[in-house]
């Protein structure tokens, strides 16, 4: 069997088109565009690229995107004061503080200070708790993208065995919660999991969110499985590669995401979706 390649770029373009429509409906109804405020502290080159991409993506769908650039020497008190100001500003719908923060600034203290209703990254403990409770929440973007990609394959998740490798609050845990909410039987594996190969072999749906180049081998894939590769690693040739050994895995899987061009493009698309969702919830 050779797997169907799940085209994340094409799906993300569709999601962005949906958001553009929602944005123009919001503007018609409320006389203003939804707004996304991104806070970037310091000059980490990768973060600068991510933030620029978010700014452009927001603009392209009609969201009012504003970036607050702060010096690497910014104190935690100054950063918290900005977060408070954005939290209290009625014209601000979404707040995203770009991680990682420079040394000396507490990511937890900063995240905890964002109003949960404006937390478009879905990382505030209140949103994580609401998600775990099966309630309405702002859900992290990459996990939502993973579920959408699975849905695009026409797979009914109910009753299937899903294995998520990785347990971060950014990807592994929320994607597991979303799979559980869709009635999959979910196993979360991590660095201390014994017999990871066998655990993976039990998966009808396998989500890899580790950050280890080609950790998941082709013969760990159950024939006919759906494989979602979240990993972003530098390959031997410097090119972007996933956590899954793509060639052999695509011989066994029914459908698989490539890296790049799979999960990656979905993240920003769902950030835009969350921004409109936050804006709608605030005016409701």
| Residue 222 annotated as catalytic | no
Per CB under 6 A, the list member of 74, 127, 142, 275 interacting with ligand NAP is 142
Per CB under 6 A, the list member of 20, 126, 181, 232 interacting with ligand NAP is 232
Strands 233-234 and 240-241: antiparallel
Nearer to ligand NAP, 17 or 197 (CB): 197
Per CB under 6 A, the list member of 58, 128, 162, 196 interacting with ligand NAP is 196
Q: If binding is defined by CB under 6 A, does position 209 make contact with ligand NAP?
A: yes
Show the site string, 174-193: x = touches ligand NAP by CB under 6 A, - = not: ---------------xxxxx
How is residue 10 written in tokens? 């094409």
Q: Write down the least CB distance from residue 141 to ligand NAP, Å.
A: 8
* Alpha carbon distance 207, 190 (integer Å): 12
Per CB under 6 A, the list member of 36, 123, 170, 255 interacting with ligand NAP is 170
Which 3-state string (H, E, C) describes 26-93? HHHHHCCCCEEEEEEECCCHHHHHHHHHHHHHHHHCCCEEEEEEECCCCCHHHHHHHHHHHHHCCCCC
> Using alpha carbons only, what angle is made at residue 278 by residues 17 and 71, rounded to the nearest 5 degrees?
95
Report the chain's C-alpha Rg in angstroms. 19
Interacting residue ranges for ligand NAP, rule: CB under 6 A: 142, 165-168, 170-172, 189-193, 196, 209-212, 215, 230-233, 263-264, 267
Return the active site residues.
54, 98, 121
């Amino acid at each position: 069997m050779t797997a169907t390649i799940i085209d994340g770029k094409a799906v993300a373009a569709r999601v962005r088109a949906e958001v553009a429509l929602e944005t123009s409906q919001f503007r018609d109804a409320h006389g203003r565009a939804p707004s996304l405020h991104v806070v970037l502290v310091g000059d980490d080159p990768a973060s600068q690229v991510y933030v620029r991409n978010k700014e452009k993506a927001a603009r392209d769908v009609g969201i009012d995107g504003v970036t607050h650039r702060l010096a690497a020497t910014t104190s935690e008190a100054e950063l918290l004061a900005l977060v408070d100001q954005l939290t209290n500003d009625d014209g601000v719908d979404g707040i995203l503080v770009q991680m990682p923060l420079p040394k000396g600034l507490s990511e937890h203290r900063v995240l905890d200070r964002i109003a949960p209703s404006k937390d478009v990254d879905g990382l505030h403990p209140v949103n994580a708790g609401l998600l775990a409770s099966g309630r309405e929440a702002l859900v992290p973007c990459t996990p939502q993208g993973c579920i959408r990609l699975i849905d695009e394959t026409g797979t009914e998740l109910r009753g299937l065995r899903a294995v998520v490798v990785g347990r971060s609050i950014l990807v592994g845990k929320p994607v597991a919660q979303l799979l559980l909410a869709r009635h999959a039987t979910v196993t979360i594996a991590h660095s201390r999991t014994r017999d990871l190969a066998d655990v993976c072999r039990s998966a009808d749906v396998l989500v890899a969110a580790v950050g280890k180049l080609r950790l998941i081998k082709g013969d760990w894939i159950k024939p006919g499985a759906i494989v979602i590769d979240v990993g972003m690693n530098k390959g031997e040739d410097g090119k972007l590669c996933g956590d899954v050994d793509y060639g052999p895995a695509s011989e066994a899987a029914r459908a698989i995401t490539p890296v790049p061009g799979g999960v990656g493009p979905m993240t920003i698309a769902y950030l835009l979706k969350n921004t409109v969702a936050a804006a709608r919830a605030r005016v409701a």
